Amino acid sequence: MHKNKPNKVLDTKLDAVSKSLKQSIKNLDSYTHVRGESLYVDDVNIRQGTFHAVVFDSPKAHGKIKSIDYSKAEALEGVQRIFTYKDVPGENEIGGIIPDEPLFAENDVHFWGMPIALIVAESEFIARKARGLIDIEIEELPVITTAKEAKAKGSFINAPRSFSLGDTEKAFADCEYIFEGETFSNGQEHLYIETQGAYAEPLENGNIKVTSSTQGPTAVQKTIAKVLGIAMHKIEVDVTRLGGGFGGKEDQATPWAVMAALAAHHLNQSVKLILNRHDDLRMTGKRHPYESTYKIGLSKDLKIIAYQTEFLQNSGAAADLSPAIAERTLFHATNSYYIPNVTTKVLSCKTNLPPNTAFRGFGGPQGMFVIESAIAKAAHEIGVPTRTIQEANLLDENDTFSYGQIAKKVEAKNTWHSAKNIFNIEALEQAVEAFNKNNTSFKKGIAFMPITFGISFTNTPMNHARALVHIYLDGSVGISTAAVEMGQGVNTKMMQIAADVFSIPIEKIKIETTNTTRVANTSPSAASSTADLNGKATLMACNALVERLKIVASEDLKASVKDITLKEESVYINNKKSALTWTELVSKAMLKRVALTENAHYATPEIHFDKTKEKGHPFAYHVYGTAITTTTIDCMRGTYEFESVKIVHDYGKSMSEGIDLGQVEGALIQGIGWMTMEEIAYNKDGKLLSNALSTYKVPDIFSVPKTVEVIPVETEGNDMAILKSKAVGEPPLMYGIGAYFALQNAIKAFNPNYDMQFNAPMTPEKVLMSLYKKA
Ligand code: LUZ
Ligand code: MOS
């Protein structure tokens, strides 16, 4: 799939692009992954007598609970106990940002799949069987499934947010062209391979240890303490790794861990709760669908002078992370473009769907889809290529974002023009044109997708992390951080940092599980920031240890501290190798009673944001890039494939080209899936129809682009990125938006009457109907 052959054009552009890939380190988890030895929650050795739990959830999307009869279920042999809200000793409340979400429904239900009770039995099989024996009577209430309906009924999560720059109203009066329209982007199922789950084990004195598949161990710990009404120090949360998260386990890993802990607390026995795929699909929230309206105004020379949007976010039945996600939609509403007059508004609409949640990009993709739609619409109406308008408005150095941050070290134009040159855009476009001229039943389309993505949690107080580093007597090293490994390779990066600072082989370093007892009060592994925040903390801790060790070495070798360096497991004086090895140095430090443990705290400097003004400097830096997507559609069937996605991406100075390339490819394809084939469907009653892998299609090896080419732009990186290696987790997902517009262009090539539709995903059915739609 991936191709990175040396490129002639590339070789002549060495100043813009790195010549060869940096020596790549493999993701250290790959060894145990391919051998099937990697440990997940379901692999934890369970205590003898462990109970298994299944969640009983609402079979209606909205209503009052008239009665529930648990008697038959309770009578089933092997059923231990059924827990409801009445068994909660503390607060029956799990809302993270807004306290609006009960752990278990009390008197009413707000979404289909809302947890009502936890059935604990000797086996999962028995618990599942018991679930079928519960009788519930619900008095149904009107169900809202779309954001528009919610808006019409005044059903909101919180107050709207709005960003503005310049004077949009006035600017529209000066525009040569003004276009208005509506867009829709659907939700997206995370489909982590490992479903949600937790294992809770009671310890002595009422303490509980919980193994959880969570991106946010502290959120789990805090919420268990709140629900049980006990102190946080009684709860230890441990995470080895996740089989994927994608944001779906930032907040929504919590309820299952809390339920398992609640049952363990009452029963004084270990309890395991792992959702099966159907339960997971039905009970958990997804990416937020957005219904949006836009108004875009351009000058005669195609400068976007004014832009106005209203985003309706379908938040689901409770806040979850919706307010933060809504905020990030506003931050990315103008994507890679400088627009001097902007007014954006977002309404978090309360509906009767499962609370929608974080998903790679966190509202950013939804915001970018709207501006790209507005530009495509303008281009279509004016009769110019979309890329002409895109190119005319790319962000420049010192431009102001609508939220007040001044753009610095901008690579929007660089990645755009590098992509045009390296991939020879004239030849690509001519080939598409020639193909379309010579073919009637197949058409090709091509589209550019620039991205600009802000790095940091938009909530400034969350931007911190800690690392705890032990050097053991034998010179081996153990590192604990707040980073959760979920396949993104963060553990490998942490190991690289320590190996680099200590100058010892990675075999001497171990990354420990993520554990709230070793590293406390952590932010979730999210916002693409995990390697930056935890890496910086690791770097600080390792550097502090090296400083200490250098003093020991200087005393031992009778040399000045400033002349000492650690290199390849030895001490060097003035770059000359001494006889003192790393291991001996560590032993000597121990004899001198020097501390071989360090704990470091990192908090991103400079960032700030004032919500009363909606202005500030929320991001440590931005990640930039440009993708060119080419598609071919079969005009008889409406099916399509993506020939190539050619990307120039700003990695900064990548620490690991292999891992980062994996992130770009994975995110791109996840983005293409969201835009083209993944179709979440609820019926009017709020029942999830796309409730299995037979009715919800994610990209497989046959639907990924035939070639994905990623060329790194060698930038000087950013000091706030770890070792100048820019965050890579989320930004490339938005390259996938290019797939939507490539399809639009291919449809236009077939059907001259086609009036562009901005209604994602662009499934083959929609493509087919568009091909034959009359104006
Ligand atoms: N999570 C979060 C995120 O809590 N705040 C953010 O800004 C964010 N951004 C991206 C992904 N997850
Ligand atoms: Mo996230 S969407 O958990 O970075």
Distance CA 172, CA 635 (A): 39
Residue 197 CB-density burial (10 A; 0-12 exposed, 13-18 middle, 19+ buried): buried
Distance 511 CA to ligand 2 centre (A): 22
Distance 162 CA to ligand 1 centre (A): 18
Q: Which two tokens stand for residue 601?
A: 């705290």
97, 188, 246, 321: residue to mutate for ligand 1 pocket, most atoms within 8 A of CB: 321
What is the per-residue pLDDT for 716? 81
Pocket of ligand 1 (CB under 6 A): 247, 250, 321, 324, 328, 358, 362, 457-459, 526-527, 730
Distance CA 286, CA 248 (A): 7
- Report the DSSP beta bridge partners of residue 616: 609
CA angle 262, 264, 265 (to 5 degrees): 65
What is the per-residue pLDDT for 24? 55
State whether the beta carbon of 192 lies less than 6 angstroms from ligand 2: no
| DSSP codes, 394-427 | B--TTPBPTTSPBP-S--HHHHHHHHHHHTTHHH
Distance CA 154, CA 760 (A): 25
| C-beta of residue 409 within 8 angstroms of C-beta of residue 328 | no
Q: For residue 338, what is the enclosing H or E element?
A: none
Residue 180 falls in which region: left (phi positive, over 0), alpha (psi -120 to 50) or beta? beta
State whether the beta carbon of 53 lies less than 6 angstroms from ligand 2: no
CA torsion, points 683, 687, 690, 695, in degrees to nearest 10? -80
Strand order in the sheet with 108-109: 108-109, 63-69, 135-140
Task: Give me the residue label for tokens 């077939």.
Answer: 750
Distance 345 CA to ligand 2 centre (A): 22
| C-beta of residue 748 within 8 angstroms of C-beta of residue 377 | no
Residues of the chain under the 50 pLDDT cut: 1-22
φ, ψ (nearest 5 deg) of residue 530:
-60, -45
Distance 399 CA to ligand 2 centre (A): 27
Residue nearest to atom 11 of ligand 1 (CA): 527
Cis upstream peptide for 217 (omega within 30°): no
Distance CA 580, CA 556 (A): 9
Q: Which two tokens stand for residue 146?
A: 């779309």
| C-beta of residue 663 within 8 angstroms of C-beta of residue 672 | no
Distance CA 618, CA 405 (A): 7
Cis upstream peptide for 6 (omega within 30°): no
DSSP state of 652: B
φ, ψ (nearest 5 deg) of residue 508:
-85, 0
- Report the DSSP beta bridge partners of residue 56: 117
Helix (H, G, I), strand (E, B) or coil at 273: strand
Distance CA 161, CA 204 (A): 47
pLDDT tens digits along 302-342: 999 999 999 999 999 999 999 999 999 999 999 999 999 99
